[in-house]
Amino acid sequence: MVSKICTVAVLLCLFTFTPSLPRAEEKDPVIQTIEQALAEYKKQNYSNAATSLDYASQLIRQKKGDALGAFLPEPMEGWTANESKSQVTAASLFGGGLTAAREYTKDDTRIQIEIVTDSPLLQPMIMMFSNPIFAASAGRFELINGYKGIIKHQNNSGDINIVVNNRFLVTVKGRNVTEEELVGYAKHIDLKGIANLP
């Protein structure tokens, strides 16, 4: 009888103190969708396979958009901001691309920061910024955290456009805003972090 009690006690201790096995991690939806596409391809269901691959590509772009949105800064002291939003535009619409944006407010002052990448429309815009004649008419050059920017401010509104590694266009625009506030928010952005994005 005593031995049975001891055995039960030992088993109870083992059950109590043995760490539970970790749950199997949920499969990444991108990998799951690609595997589904492969299965459809092997069945020669090519339309379904292509649809699954398109969906996987969309999921990947969404992940990249979320990573981009993480570089939209927190509001400066005295300001409030909404949640950052990232958007994936289909290639058939305006050339496609990724956009992350966030709006900041203080009283009646509004500033919006927008980061755009992976858009074919960026290249001609970047080339235009490299043209001194265009730059002179668009605003004035100023380095923002080491990156070339064009500042335009007039009648309490304006914008700053910054090209980062010829891959990203960062725009800071506002209304009822001073130039100092625009520049302050532009310098508040981690441009080097954006430049290091894959």
- Domain residues of the chain, as ranges? 27-69, 72-195
Kindly report the pTM of this predicted structure: 0.74
CATH superfamily of 72-195: MucB/RseB, C-terminal domain (3.30.200.100)
Q: Which two tokens stand for residue 92?
A: 């058939």
H helix intervals, 43-157: 46-69, 122-129, 132-138
What is the rounded (10 degree) CA torsion for 100, 106, 107, 113?
A: -20
What are the pLDDT tens digits along the chain (198 aa)?
444 334 333 333 433 343 444 444 578 888 998 989 899 899 999 999 889 888 888 888 778 878 888 999 999 999 999 988 777 664 444 456 888 999 999 999 999 999 998 888 788 777 777 777 776 677 888 899 999 889 999 999 999 999 999 899 999 999 999 999 999 999 999 999 999 998
Contact 61, 88 (CB under 8 A): yes
**Count of Cβ atoms closer than 10 Å to residue 189 Cβ:** 22
